[in-house]
Structure 1
Amino acid sequence: MTMQTPPASGASKKPLFSILSRLSLLMVAILLLTVAISMLMLYLLPDQLWLATGLSLAIVLPIGLGILRSQLQAMIKLFHTLAGTVISYQDNDFSIGVHWPLQDELGELVEAHNALGDVLRRQRLDLVQRELLLDTMVQNTPVAMMLVADHGPIVFANIAARQLLNQGRKLEGFSFNDVLTQVSSSLFEAIQRGGDGLFTVAARDAEEEEEVYHLARRNFSLNGRHHELFLLRHLTVELRRQEVQTWKKVIRVISHELNNSLAPIASLANSAAVLVSRGQTERLPGILHTIEERTRHLESFIDGYARFAKLPTPRLEHTHWNSFIAGLKSQVIFTIVDSLPEEAVNLDRAQMEHALLNLLKNAHESGSREDDVSLSIRVLQGMARIEVMDRGSGMSDTVMSNALIPFYSTKRSGTGLGLALVREIIEAHGGRISLQNREGGGLTVSLFLPLI
């Protein structure tokens, strides 16, 4: 019996000489040898039966035990070899095979064992190839991926995550909390809030623009230990591309609406001129009334878009939260979470009131109960954090990634200007906006405003 590289597995062969047959022949041979030696001893010592018997056993037993030992020793060595290959399999080493020269039951066992090793080796090779393919895809995806074990060490980070969080340097082995101290405040706050969400990173200088990211996180168990996967998707380029497409759509909509309104007005005006030239003025009031209706409709339509396109510069004034919230409460129902801050803030009351009314109206239209629509205001590190929360259906990843784009709406009669206008107002105040799905259902819209 030897160890070798396993041959290709084939069909199992029927044993030609079984272990039981071989041992039976061995016992018969030993028995015949014992009888022959006993007869010889009796012939040589006819009058000494016990001495002849003792001498026969002394000769036969060592020979028989030696023969049995030689047969069993090879089997025992085979069993140890099989145990060793099983340990190799546990260590993912499938290169060792076993050879047994006899065609018996042990030969069948060795053949099946080698066939198993061959299958495991092929599966291991396929698995390694798949792992290489998956690692190549993960490393080169533009989505930053980071795997953290129990909020402790970072166990995996792809190229995008290294570039985003550590200037391209390795992140594995570093403490997750230590890495968080070096990231932007908006990313830190998005991670601390938990759940999925959209957030913006402010531009570092006037020549750059703000960056928009979508954060997704998933929890699972790996090797009996809790892990959390963070996915950061850069949406700035995609948002800009979608905004261009949206503006093209808006231009087509405005052009269509203008044509639909101006063509009837021109026709009615021509009809009115004809009637005046004929002295038939009795139909003029109806024509003028129709022209007035079409004009007012067109004015209302254009005004909705103009408010977004021509948002005036905020006129900041020193504002206390108590009086500001009192004005909101007179217009919409909501609950205040915790007490209002004593620190005042500089803001344009009309614009900020319009922004919060939009958010609170959206919260009521989300399917949330009235008493689940709430507003929270806190002051943290020189920033006022305003949160509008509901218990509606929340947002899918697709809707959330498009929610801040002008004219994007999931409502049949929506204009898609609500959240986009809120974003413009907040950014005009030097702040930022982020969206976050709540645990247990619902949405949180967070507004961050500088106090000064």
Structure 2
Amino acid sequence: MRFFSLEGKLTLALFVAIGVAAALALVIDSLIGRPWLSFAVTLVVGTLLAPLYARGLTSTVASLFRTLAGSVTSFKDGDFNFSIAAERRDELGDLVRAHNDLGRVLREERQGLFQRELLLDTVVQNTPTAIVLTEPHGHVVYANVAARQLLNSGRRLQGLDFAKVVSECPAAFGQAVRDGGDTLFTVPIDGEEETFHFSQRSFNLQGRQHCMYLIKRMTREISRQEVATWKKVIRVISHELNNSLAPMSSLAHSGRLLAQKGDLARLAPVFDTIEDRTRHLHLFIRGYAEFAKLPQPRAARVPWAPLLEAIASQFPGVAIGDPPAIAAWFDRAQVEQVLINLIKNAHESGSAVEDIRLDVSQSETETRIDVRDRGTGMSEAVLASALLPFYSTKRSGTGLGLALAREIAEAHGGRIILANRDHGGLKVTLVLPRPLGADATVTPATPGA
């Protein structure tokens, strides 16, 4: 037992009280000479003095408890600039020192957190990407400098209804917000076309659902990518031409020598090889020419069941949703080519066949065809460039699949939307407008027909 502990001090106080009571009893007994009366008088005096003695013993401790309670309340309110000066060598002294250490640690952590928040806010405010954060009711709670300049002419956005802000922006931006996910849109600014990458994310902040919008200007990056793309196209075409023309030139020379020698029997393999290389070169050039000279779509009434059955026959195992009862209105050959390219890309993404799914949905104004997979998805950089002509992450890819799909969609007045899926994979959406008066109900095909 420590002498200066609370237990030691209480033991000492009881020992003193007992000693004083015994001394008082002896004094009274010496004066009265009657032990029982002396005991009664001592008991009465002790009862009257006990509250005063207890208050004297606990007053310091009670005051310290009140101080600790007030300090804890200050901590709860976020005020950590509170410490207690009490020099004690008992358990209460240990508690006070622990309390002061806790306050110091909380002050240091709050100061560090404040510095980090200041640094983060400085970085976010000065980033060229426009960032807008909205609360569950759609009001803006945070917007950086780029967002204010892009969406509100540099004026404050906090507190405004984001839907109202969007309604005053170009229609392409409003459409991107309604579609959600990641997409590219183009708007005219100061007489020039500017391309932006839009993304939208939801998350919980302080127990409430918030939404964050990011808008990044992509015009310069796309321009640089286009220059790099043209250089790549020139290299690819030059490579293919050299691979075909060099052996053809050599074979032509060999054929001339054989003809001069009159060895006509050996000329047939030479001509066959030249014909084969010429055919390969023709197909290669035609693939690029088809992209460059995509014909205008010839829209017509297209029942869904035969189209989806044709897709299913080419890709067994791919899940295909029920065909809508209302016929579509587009160029079947071109849209079918788009769907073939999208499903082939889903196969090549590493997704299992059974995880690839094609679904069609229709509204009064548009048709949406979704192709989902569980492949590797796309990074932000690839999402921003995937629809560009000749852009490919595949070693032997031409970069024409998604670019051709985009060209066909835009020729129909629609668009292509790319978005990564939760838990991995990609969703590619082909959106096509539905002209007024083009609706026609068709009878769904009988399964297996």
Q: Report the TM range for the smaller structure's normalisation.
A: 0.7 to 0.9
Partner of 1:148: 134
Within 5 Å, give how 1:32-71 maps onto structure 2: 32-45=19-32, 50=37, 65-71=51-57
Aligned to 1:390: 371
Alignment partner for residue 4 of structure 2, among 17, 20, 23? 17
- Relative to structure 2, which stretch is displaced further, 86-95 or 385-394? 385-394
Partner AA of 1:109 in structure 2: L
**Whole-angstrom distance in 1 between the partners of 2:56 and 2:25:** 24
Shift of the 443–46 alpha-carbon distance from structure 1 to 2, 3 Å rule, reads closer
Secondary structure of the residue that 1:443 maps to in structure 2? Answer: strand
Query: SS where residue 145 of structure 1 aligns?
Result: strand
Is the partner of 1:103 in helix, strand or coil? coil
Structure 1: runs of 5 or more not aligned: 1-13
Further displaced range: 174-183 or 85-94:
174-183
Shift of 1:81: 0.4
Q: Are 1:247 and 2:240 counterparts?
A: no
Rate the CA distance shift 1:419–1:24 in 2: closer, same or farther, 3 A. closer
Q: Which residue of 1 aligns with 2:317?
A: none
Match of 2:442 in 1: none
TM-score normalized by the length of structure 1: 0.78
Distance 2:132 2:73 in 1: 34
Q: Deviations over 1:286-308 (max 9, x none)?
A: 32332222222222222222333
C-alpha change, 1:321 and 1:170, in structure 2 (3 Å) is farther
1:28 to 15, 19, 36: 15
Of residues 198, 212, 229, the one that matches 2:183 is 198
Deviation at 1:49, TM superposition (A): 7.5
Give me the whole-angstrom Cα distance separating, in 2, the residues matched to 1:183 and 1:235: 18
Amino acid at match of 1:138: V
Higher relative contact order (CA 8 A, sep 6+): 1
- Please report the RMSD computed on the Cα atoms of aligned residues, expressed in angstroms: 3.7
TM-score by length of 2: 0.78
Match of 1:360 among 311, 325, 339: 339
> Counterparts of 1:41-440 in structure 2 under 5 Å?
41-45=28-32, 50=37, 65-194=51-180, 196-203=181-188, 207-219=191-203, 221-308=204-291, 310-311=292-293, 319-322=299-302, 332=311, 336-337=323-324, 339-340=326-327, 355-365=334-344, 366-367=346-347, 372-376=357-361, 380=365, 385-393=366-374, 395-398=377-380, 399-410=382-393, 414-427=397-410, 432-436=415-419
Change (3 A) 1:416 1:62: same
Spell out, residue by residue over 1:11-64, the C-alpha distance to the aligned partner (whole angstroms, 9 max, x if none).
xxx9652233333333333333344444444445558974x6676667665555
Q: Given that residues 186 and 199 in structure 1 are in contact (C-alpha distance below 8 angstroms), is that contact kept between their aligned partners in structure 2?
A: no
What letter is aligned with 1:164? L
Q: Residues 297 and 334 of structure 2 are in contact (CA less than 8 Å); yes or no, is this contact kept in structure 1?
A: no
| Counterparts of 1:81 and 1:297, CA distance in 2 | 90
Contact kept? 2:194, 2:217, Cα under 8 Å: no
Give the SS at the match of 1:227: strand
Residues 244 and 259 of structure 1: CA distance in aligned 2, closer, same or farther (over 3 Å)? same
Contact 1:151 1:176 survives alignment (8 Å): no
User: Match of 2:429?
Assistant: 445
Q: Which amino acid aligns with 1:360?
A: L
The share of aligned pairs that are identical, in percent, is 40
| Structure 1 residues 65 and 259: alpha-carbon distance in aligned structure 2, compared to 1, 3 A threshold | same
Contact 1:16 1:103 in 2 (8 A): no
Amino acid at match of 1:358: Q
Kindly indicate whether the alpha-carbon contact (under 8 Å) linking 2:414 and 2:430 is maintained by their aligned counterparts in 1. no
CA contact (8 A) 1:202 1:209 kept: yes
